Copies of this chain bind each other. A is one copy, B any other.
């Protein structure tokens, strides 16, 4: 059977054991059997988020959880600081605008990480700001942000720090409790090795205090409704049962290996890919590259779209650039079940594709 090289930053590869778990006859969610599965999954989710807080699970894409982090904490007319260094930073700002929240953008060059001191200055200049929103890994630029340093700055104020860790979690180092992150957001189709359809929010005490004052409307994503049932391993609405069963399986695989070892394997895969890319004479796009995904500059004169479609005909699916980076970068993921062997195969095909394109240029 031909191997399937899906090396995009979500969806990522799904191990057979997880697929098998999801293919079992479906069970009802208001049963002890299902609750036992959720209980184990919830305990293991905490290990990935490195937190003692409950991790709330939603049936939605990651964007739903991003919206939830705003709708649950803020009120119309509030101010929030948004680190905007890519498509997902922009998304936070757009959601704020939809909700009548004033988004103060902290714009940074795409492919760079924010200077923590600048976040501090933005908070000084906007002393009423209730929250800072930023990514752990800005997927569109394959850039990791220094959450630990920013959290130190935000922690000295009344504002909460909300981190979209959707593509970074499990791949880039992340410590919710130790670093004092207030809301951490995850998504299933990344290092979790699952199909898309689940998103997660872990919520700190400081965030809960703000949530009490929030007047923005919410129902489906109302954190209170989920938190109330978290202790009973239950959920307010019918959950995506098969995905949650897959989640339990994937998390047991990750925690058996150990979360820190899981992250270490991402570090070594990412280092391997970055080194190999440079050996090919190519440049990395990001000045602060993530361990979840690598962005490679498309050499001057080459067409990025042609490169990705050429790779596709060779059996390797990678992502192109988004917005103004369209055609200018390609992104290769190394999250979850993707191995160094997969990356080696992709590199071989990339070399072939480049040769073919160079001949044409």
Interface residue ranges, A against B (CB under 8 Å): 4, 6, 8, 10-11, 13-14, 19-20, 22-23, 25-29, 31, 59-64, 67, 71, 94-95, 98-100, 187, 189, 195-197, 216-220, 222, 236-243, 317
Residue of B nearest to A222 (CB): B98
Q: Decide: A11 and B23 in contact? CB cutoff 8 A.
A: no
The residue from B20, B60, B222, B317 contacting A59, defined by CB atoms under 8 A apart: B60
Could you list 8 examples of A-B contacts with CB < 8 Å?
A59-B61, A60-B60, A64-B237, A98-B217, A98-B218, A100-B217, A196-B239, A216-B217
On chain B, the residues within 8 Å of A98 by CB distance are: 217-219, 222
Q: Decide: A28 and B219 in contact? CB cutoff 8 A.
A: no
Q: Decide: A317 and B28 in contact? CB cutoff 8 A.
A: yes
A22 to B195 Cα, complex, angstroms: 10
Q: Decide: A61 and B219 in contact? CB cutoff 8 A.
A: no
Residue of B nearest to A320 (CB): B30
Max chain B C-beta neighbours (<10 A), residue from A220, A239, A240, A241: A220
Q: Decide: B11 and A25 in contact? CB cutoff 8 A.
A: no
* Nearest 3 A/B pairs, CB to CB: A197-B240, A61-B237, A195-B242
Chain B nearest CB from A166 CB (Å) reads 10
Q: Decide: B61 and A239 in contact? CB cutoff 8 A.
A: yes
A231 to B105 Cα, complex, angstroms: 33
The residue from B14, B187, B196, B220 contacting A60, defined by CB atoms under 8 A apart: B220
Chain B nearest CB from A236 CB (Å) reads 8
Max chain B C-beta neighbours (<10 A), residue from A4, A99, A222, A242: A242
Chain B nearest CB from A8 CB (Å) reads 5
Q: Decide: B195 and A26 in contact? CB cutoff 8 A.
A: yes
| Given known A-B contacts A98-B217, A218-B98, A238 and B59 have beta carbons under 8 A apart | no
Q: Decide: A238 and B64 in contact? CB cutoff 8 A.
A: no
Residue of B nearest to A13 (CB): B26
Q: Decide: B26 and A14 in contact? CB cutoff 8 A.
A: yes
| Given known A-B contacts A11-B241, A195-B26, A219 and B94 have beta carbons under 8 A apart | yes
Max chain B C-beta neighbours (<10 A), residue from A63, A99, A100: A63
Q: A11-B27, A28-B317, A99-B219 are in contact. List 7 more A-B contacts (CB 8 A).
A: A11-B26, A22-B242, A59-B196, A60-B64, A61-B237, A64-B64, A196-B240
On chain B, the residues within 8 Å of A20 by CB distance are: 23
| Given known A-B contacts A4-B25, A26-B195, A238-B189, A220 and B63 have beta carbons under 8 A apart | yes
On chain B, the residues within 8 Å of A59 by CB distance are: 59-61, 64, 196-197
The residue from B19, B217, B236, B241 contacting A196, defined by CB atoms under 8 A apart: B241
Q: Decide: B10 and A26 in contact? CB cutoff 8 A.
A: no
On chain B, the residues within 8 Å of A216 by CB distance are: 217
A62 to B220 Cα, complex, angstroms: 10
